[in-house]
Structures are given as structure tokens and as C-alpha cells.
Amino acid sequence: MSDEIQALEAQLYMQAARRLPVTLVRGEGTRVWDSDGKEYLDFVAGISTNTFGHADPGLAQAISEQAGTLIHCSNIFFSEPQIELAQLLIENSPMDRVFFANSGAEANEGALKLARKWGGVRKNGAGEIIVTHNGFLGRTMATVAATGTPAYREPFEPLVPGFVHVDFDDIEAVQAATSPQTAAVMVEPIQAEGGIIVPSDDYLRKLREWCDEQQLLLILDEIQVGMGRTGTLWAHEQAGIEPDVMTSAKALGGGVPIGALLCKESANVFEPGDHGSTFGGQPLATAAAAHVVRRVIESDILQNVRERGAQAARALGALGEKHAVVKGVRGRGLLIGLELNDAIAPDVVVNSVGRGLLLNPVRPDVVRLMPPLNVSAEEVDRCVEILDAAITEVTA
Ligand SMILES: *Cc1c(COP(=O)(O)O)cnc(C)c1O
């Protein structure tokens, strides 16, 4: 059956991205099953979206109750779940205002529009936004123009203008790129798609100081690193700073598509007519996200992220003593990159998948691990055991 689906996909679907040859049909917690009945341990979690794993009963109930009440009503009207989620996010972040979108790229698109308008009305028409090489902000026209990977943007020229790219983790490069035309600096607290690149401890603090001094908006993309993934609700908490604008998505809906654009009152320049979305902030998605946020805040799941993250980092680090190809481990909490000395991450992943472990080769030499935030100690041990065997076989 999976062969049939995969053959049809090759014929019907735009071949815009590569897939692993696995057809998933159901899941439970950190486990998923394919159409042949084979079981896998899921350390991809929908690319860091399935906060509580698969088929979580609480989330399923929140979705089903809302689906049986009011799925969608348009932003022409008010709705309760939307404002309940807004309140949860505002009370649990340094932000004052929120706008809901349907995805990460869309939330970032809103952040870029907000920054352009802010520069227009508050900074003499300044419209340039400083972004980073190797960064990832999404796949829409503005976010590909801002992306730091040339291959993602070059086929789509002419690009949205006004983005200045500098090296990540280089405050002097940001300073040198700043001009009277600069409105904002937009970075990820950790470059995730870029290969789990954690900047120096003082990078975000120095960016904050520079933005204050130069009157620039500091925009943080918390789409992958936020919502508990790195062991605190937001990654910027660990740097002891507050952004002016930030975006969230991925884990926010626990697997249901939703994105959020948040800002301080000082950056709140949108007026009626400036931005909108048919589905953004609809009752179904916001009811799901409200359930997710409430549980992340009220449970001890962040402690689990820190403990399982430390456990995984230790165990993966120990693989370095056994395998010459293992160079090191980087990341925070449960966003982990296993760095290899050779471009064999895709082979290691294919081998692991054969052994019943789903992983992602985020770069040719980096395997990314991003299990559900409620992953157990036994599941982390099992993952490292399988990876150990996979690396042994691939390097034999
Ligand atoms: C995934 C991701 C995006 C894009 O989100 P989509 O929901 O795929 O549009 C943007 N920024 C970061 C850091 C991401 O990880």
C-alpha cells in the first residue's frame, strides 16, 4: 500500500521537496506506524510541531469540542478562543499585542510588513531589514528574499528588495550594515534549519543594546525554538533580553497549523486595513493552540525538556568517544544537532529509519533530533542506541 501511495505521489504531487520513503498512517505519543504496520520512534515530531507527540487525548478533545461548536467564523466577527489564546500569549511573554496567521512564514511576513510600516512612520521612511546568512525565515516571497540560503531565493528573482545579509553571531557585521535606512534586525535566537547554530552567549544582548542605541526594531523568529523547545517557553529568555517583535508557529498548535506575530506596544503600528487573513486566528486553530500553551505553562514539561535534553546531549556526546565520525553535539533543550566529520547525515538517517527511528538530516553533516517535548528517558536511550548502531553500520 505504501508503494502505491508513493508511486501516485511521484505522478501527482509537485516534486518541490524530497521525502523519506515512509507513508505514515497513525501515531501515539512518540511512536508512529507506517502503512505496512512498521513502528517507528519519532524524533522529528512533524518538524518540531507535535508538542505532546501524536494523538494526544487532551489536544484531540480540545479540537473535537471546538469542531463541534464553531470551526470558523472569519475575522469580521469576534471569537472567544482567539482572545483566550491572545491572553495566554501576552501574559506569558514580554509582548503587548498579537496577530494570528496560519503558518510560520505568514507570521514572519506580517513581522516584515510591521517593520516596514514602523520604519515608514516612525523612522523617516527607513525600510531596510538586516537578516543573517544561513538563516531561515520561510518560503513566501518576502521570507525567501530574507532567507540566508541563496539556493532558496535565487530561482525566484526578482526578489522583494530591502534585505541586507550579514554573518550570524557577528555583532560588528550588524553595526557595519546599519545605516539611516535601517528599520530592523531580524534573527533566529538559534539558527535551526541552518544546522542548529547556537550563537555566543552575549550575541542577543549585544543586538538588543545596538537596536536600542540606533532605534531599530529587534525581531526574533521563535518559530522553531520557542514554545518550550529549548527548555524555556521562549528562547530569548535564556539571553535575558526582550525583543520588540517576535513570531511563533510550529509547536504553538501542537500539530494544528497556526502562526502568531507578537509585538510591544511601541511597535504596534498596524491600523485597520493594513493586514488580514481569512483563516488566521480561527476558532479551531486557536482553541487547539490555547490548549497547547496552557499545558506547556501549567505542567512540568519544560523541566522534562531540560532533563531529557541534558540526557540526550550526554549520551550523544559519549558516541563521540566510540565513533571517530561523531564530532560533537550542539543545541539547547530538545533541539539537538549531532555534528559529524563527514557528509553522511542522510545515510545515517536512512539507516536509522530502517531500524525504526525517524530523524532529520538538517545539513549533510548534521543530524537533527527534535522529539515531542514529553519524550521519556527510555525513549531517549532507545534513540541513542539505534543511532549508535546506524553510525556503526554506515561507517563500517
Ligand atoms: C519552520 C520555520 C519557518 C517557516 O514556518 P512555516 O510554518 O513552514 O511557514 C520560519 N522560521 C523558522 C525559524 C522556522 O523553523
What would you measure as the largest C-alpha separation in the chain, in angstroms?
63
Pairing of strands 366-369, 335-340: antiparallel
Q: pLDDT of the chain along its 396 residues, tens only?
A: 568 999 999 999 999 999 999 999 999 999 999 999 999 999 999 999 999 999 999 999 999 999 999 999 999 999 999 999 999 999 999 999 999 999 999 999 999 999 999 999 999 999 999 999 999 999 999 999 999 889 999 999 999 999 999 999 999 999 999 999 999 999 999 999 999 999 999 999 999 999 999 999 999 999 999 999 999 999 999 999 999 999 999 999 999 999 999 999 999 999 999 999 999 999 999 999 999 999 999 999 999 999 999 999 999 999 999 999 999 999 999 999 999 999 999 999 999 999 999 999 999 999 999 999 999 999 999 999 999 999 999 999
> Do residues 100 and 259 touch, judged by C-beta distance below 8 A?
yes
Residue that is written with C-alpha cell 489564546 in the block = 85
In terms of C-beta density within 10 A (0-12 exposed, 13-18 middle, 19 or more buried), how is residue 311 classed?
Answer: middle
CA nearest ligand 1 atom 8, residue = 104
HSE-CB for 158 with a 13 A CA cutoff: 2
354: helix, strand or coil: helix
pTM given for the model:
0.98
Q: What are phi and psi of 124, to 5 degrees?
A: 60, 30
Annotated catalytic residues are 136, 221, 250
Tell me how far apart the terminal alpha carbons of the chain are, to the nearest angstrom.
33
> Do residues 168 and 132 touch, judged by C-beta distance below 8 A?
yes
pLDDT at 1: 58
Q: Is 136 in the pocket of ligand 1 (CB under 6 A)?
A: yes
CA nearest ligand 1 atom 10, residue = 137
- What grid cell was written down for 195? 544546522
Q: Is 137 in the pocket of ligand 1 (CB under 6 A)?
A: yes
Print burial letters for 359-385: b (CB count within 10 Å at least 16), e (below 16).
bbbbbebbbbbbbbbbbeeebbebbbe
> Do residues 233 and 302 touch, judged by C-beta distance below 8 A?
yes
